Structure 1
Amino acid sequence: MTNSTGHQGRPMAFDVQAPLQAAAAGLAELEQRVRDELACLCYPPSNWVVPTSAEGEEKVHDVVVIGGGMCGLVASFALFGAGIQNIRIFDRSPTGFEGPWLTYARMETLRSPKQLTGPAYGMASLTFRAWYVAQFGNDTWAELDKIPRPMWMEYLRWYRKVLDLPVENGVEVKTIVPEGELMRLTLSGEGAREKSVLTRKVVMATGRDGMGHPSIPGFVDGLPRNYWAHSSDAIDFAALRGKRVVVVGVGASAVDNAAEALEAGAAEVRHLIRRKQMPCINKLMGIGSFGFTAAFPQLGDARRWQIMNYSLRTQTPAPRGSTMRVSRHPNAWFHFDAAVEKAELDGDEIVISTSQGKAVRCDFLILGTGFGVDPLARKELDGYADKILLWQDRFTPPEGQENTELGNYPYLANDFTFLEREPGQAPWLANIHSFNSGAAASLGKMSGDIPGISEGAAWLAREIAAKLYSENFGQYWQRLLDYDTPELRGDEWTASPLPDEAPAAARKQA
């Protein structure tokens, strides 16, 4: 008998550590491959940026990146790869918890197809696929449908580690203020080594809510805060067991939070949806391509507005898996054409009045209302956010294409920097790069979503490099004049005189 008991009836010993050891070995081999490829690419190149001095010998950084999540990591990798070494990277979150993946993101899997290269920046060994296959093999990769959300965070942690990106965690940037030609960032948090730092350029790699705030509808103004939460809040779902929950909206965040409440044992969960029918088509997915990414910033205001307005109005649907995660529960309901008009307390119950003239009673309300783009809401920009040029200042849409939400997006320059509403009022805005979701209306989705993040980072690094060089052109010109390292030493040749010219008769004879 040789099955589970082995030869001659002896129990077979199973090494439960073997798969873990194989995964570790595969990952170690991949990490060496990354290092070898980086060496072949001469990464990191030497720093070429001339140092900048400040009064009192305070150090001046060339770039400060705010955010150590996906956007900040790939942006920093691109900057280092461009030979811009004098940078700092700050993130307010604890190490390994940057971005939304292990905080307020509650989907089971990513929406993006598993094969997208994301932040790999053109290196096959840096892709999620390479990381996954190194640990679990090609057969398991073939069977994988979507990327589990926590696994994506594990990949980003590895990405940061293998590239040795010096993110400083527990550091929050409180303000960004001009100081001469530089920008001073005031810092707080347990990870802050200084109270403030000086820099030439700032990259706000602050993610989906990085140029605004959670959208909070006015109908909750009269409700005590312990009766409602936004989908981006830290929600105690265990406390919702046996409770009646209403979720406003039917986008991805609304659906994921509804699923969490149901799985935590909520007595019922009702979606209140102002739309008459479920959004089913992710329109922008149908036109995604390198051409679209490259062309979008050059399309002109009218066409960019046309595309973004259409995308916002049609709404990106929640993923199929997330929606099924809710609908498989018999105590879940989707109520369409039921916009919320008012919410008020009646004893310990919330009474929600809807556009249908019917009221819904519940114990807790979750707002799946997404994020709004509003530079005025960014505390880092206090004192001058109103000087930022917005789309509503620059473009008047045709009749029927009005969109207040879209009008609040910043109208950015091609290098992701803010423009002034009134020229000359805030020239320092040209030093702040909005590498986050706020760039979508001007430059497309190159600074927040997985599909275009590497192209966006390459663009950002190139533009920052060009600015740093142009601003110090005189010093680089002097470097050219001063350069005197010879390639030839003088012993590589022998000077020879020209021969005497032969007489005409001799030439004819020859």
Structure 2
Amino acid sequence: MPRSVLIRIDRMFDLKPEFLQSVSNLEALEHRLAEDLSLLEIPPKEWVPASEYEGARILDVVIIGAGMCGLVAAAALKMLGIHNIVCVDRAPKGLEGPWVTFARMETLRSPKQLTGPALGLPALTFRAWYVAQFGTNAWEQLGKIPKNQWMDYLIWYRKVFALPVRNLVSVMNIEPVHDDLLALNVIDSGSGKAETLYARHVVLATGRDGLGGSYVPEFVESVPRKFWAHSADDIDFDALREKRVAVVGAGASAMDNAATALEAGAAKVDMIIRRKDLPRINKFTGIASQGVVQGFAGLSDEWKWKFLEHTLGAQTPPPRDSTLRVSRHPNSRFLLGTAVRGMHEEPESVVLKTSCGDLEYDFVIFATGFRVDLDRRPELVKFAPFIRFWKDVFTPEPGMENGELASSPYLGADFEFLERVPGSCPSLRLVHCFNYQATLSHGKLSGDIPAVSDGGRRLARGIARSLFVADRETHFANLVAFETPELLGDEWTDAAAAIADLQRGAAE
């Protein structure tokens, strides 16, 4: 927006000078980013041949999910000249991912200086975006990034990279058309229209529950839902005012949900924690390095399992800020060493049966994580019987068994699913698992902020390679047909004429 226009708007609405300056500075950052992209020739020209199926143009890649991982995947593909792509997300614009929905922390856990999804572009970092609007002093005083501000940054990221996103679109199923093509049946909840998208590759950027859903103990499911929720559910915390609330679990989401209930006016909140003490050390943070980011995928299966089994066994502690957010309330309790063994309904409450006796509450929140359950993912119904999991190919040493790891998909080098039985579903290689469940195969590249750019680039390079190999005949034909000369024939003296001149000179 030109400065003159901003001044006119200022006069109309009496906007503060600081606001005008922040808008101007953000525009300057966007110009800087555009110049950097131009200098790097990003995005390069499109090189993937266009194709059609039954009169519809085939998309090179459909990305399911437009949260952080989906946006990074789309941006990384564009940076390699793959333009015929789209992200689809069932959420309204601005509500993609967990940040302003079920993520109930106040700030991110990741340190503010991490470059996250910036893909190596300084002007695309959160820091550049923040400083442009609030200044260097504000950046230096900032502790951790407020989660709503992170969402604002991702919205800007999507805008400045002109990423193609369709909101309010749900994928009902994916099915193979043939070995090299997939059909996605989708519904646009905004218009109510159903349609079929054809794609050469599909990326599942579907988050923490991307291959299943939330997990609660089996005994909970028989109790009416008015008495309980999972921590990832849409919870009416205002309804918990003056209520007795229990939160089962001790991770980050447990603390954040407990704190939200306390801040909403709950009469009391008990943290029901099976362990006798809270975990205190974040193991993977201690070895964070480019060595882990780049090298984890090169480990043997035995070593990958060893790293992850040790990390999961130690558990990740809740953030200190989140824990203090709970403990500062005098009506909160940490019931350590208390295992939940059952739950039943009373006329106006529920009773948790625990290793320390029966405990009565008005509402219980289960922060008990997620599990792989392909039956809950309609987009994978056609492929579920063919997907290879770690339990199909790897047997850990005695004492190192882990059900969560065993149910992880055993992925290929480009995050693609592999067949349990070779040859049983050739089109499965076209579906890429770019979410939390890829961790055992690739490390933490597709769920957390620190290394998401590395994950996006690895994914995009693999898809680019696959597309080129698949179109090799077309690319070779283009090579053969290419006839644009660099030399025009007037750059040198005619050899025959030159020889004749030499011969005449010798004769004379």
Bucket of the pairwise TM-score, normalised by the shorter protein? over 0.9
Are the aligned partners of 1:168 and 1:191 in contact in 2 as well (CA < 8 Å)? no
2:119 alignment partner AA? Y
Number of residue pairs matched by the alignment? 488
Separation of aligned partners in 2, 1:383 and 1:124: 42
Separation of aligned partners in 1, 2:218 and 2:336: 20
- Map 1:310-389 → 2, pairs under 5 A: 310-356=310-356, 358-389=357-388
Are the aligned partners of 2:184 and 2:196 in contact in 1 as well (CA < 8 Å)? yes
1:93 alignment partner AA? A
Are the aligned partners of 2:383 and 2:428 in contact in 1 as well (CA < 8 Å)? no
Work out the percentage of aligned pairs sharing the same amino acid: 50
The answer for the alignment partner of 1:272 in structure 2 is 272
1:179 maps to which of 164, 177, 180: 177
The answer for the alignment partner of 1:250 in structure 2 is 250
Q: CA-to-partner distance for each residue in 1:358-378, whole Å, 9 max, x for gaps? A: 111110000111222333432
Q: Quick one: structure 1 residues 491 and 188, their matched pair in 2 at CA, closer, same or farther if it must change by over 3 Å? A: same
Structure 1 moving runs of 4+ over 4 Å: 191-194, 497-500
- 1:170 and 2:168 aligned: yes
CA drift of 1:260 comes to: 0.3
The answer for the alignment partner of 1:12 in structure 2 is none
1:253 alignment partner AA? S
Are the aligned partners of 2:446 and 2:455 in contact in 1 as well (CA < 8 Å)? yes
CA drift of 1:195 comes to: 1.1
2:169 alignment partner AA? V
Separation of aligned partners in 1, 2:493 and 2:71: 55
1:227 alignment partner AA? F
Separation of aligned partners in 2, 1:201 and 1:296: 25
The answer for the alignment partner of 1:51 in structure 2 is 50
Length-normalised TM-score, structure 1 = 0.93
The answer for the alignment partner of 2:411 in structure 1 is 412
What's the C-alpha RMSD, in Å, of the aligned pairs? 1.8
The answer for the alignment partner of 1:226 in structure 2 is 226
Separation of aligned partners in 2, 1:471 and 1:163: 28
The answer for the alignment partner of 2:119 in structure 1 is 121
Separation of aligned partners in 2, 1:45 and 1:123: 16
Separation of aligned partners in 2, 1:51 and 1:108: 46
Q: Quick one: structure 1 residues 243 and 371, their matched pair in 2 at CA, closer, same or farther if it must change by over 3 Å? A: same
- 1:454 and 2:453 aligned: yes
The answer for the alignment partner of 1:432 in structure 2 is 431
The answer for the alignment partner of 1:74 in structure 2 is 72
- Map 1:99-178 → 2, pairs under 5 A: 99-178=97-176
Separation of aligned partners in 2, 1:22 and 1:397: 59
CA drift of 1:208 comes to: 1.4
CA drift of 1:331 comes to: 0.7
Are the aligned partners of 2:386 and 2:421 in contact in 1 as well (CA < 8 Å)? yes
- Map 1:25-40 → 2, pairs under 5 A: 25-40=24-39
Separation of aligned partners in 2, 1:283 and 1:206: 25
Separation of aligned partners in 2, 1:167 and 1:53: 21
CA drift of 1:190 comes to: 2.6
- 1:471 and 2:470 aligned: yes
Q: CA-to-partner distance for each residue in 1:400-457, whole Å, 9 max, x for gaps? A: 1000111001000011010111111111110000111111010111111100100011
The answer for the alignment partner of 1:9 in structure 2 is none
In structure 2, the gaps of 5 or more residues are 1-13
Q: CA-to-partner distance for each residue in 1:465-500, whole Å, 9 max, x for gaps? A: 000011111111111111111111111111335869
The answer for the alignment partner of 1:495 in structure 2 is 494
2:29 alignment partner AA? L
Separation of aligned partners in 2, 1:370 and 1:256: 14
The answer for the alignment partner of 2:6 in structure 1 is none
1:342 match: secondary structure: strand
1:460 match: secondary structure: helix
The answer for the alignment partner of 1:235 in structure 2 is 235
The answer for the alignment partner of 2:9 in structure 1 is none
2:254 match: secondary structure: helix
1:195 match: secondary structure: strand
2:345 match: secondary structure: strand
In structure 1, the gaps of 5 or more residues are 1-14
1:326 alignment partner AA? V
Q: CA-to-partner distance for each residue in 1:54-78, whole Å, 9 max, x for gaps? A: 2x32211111111111111111011
The answer for the alignment partner of 1:64 in structure 2 is 62
2:182 alignment partner AA? M
CA drift of 1:320 comes to: 0.4
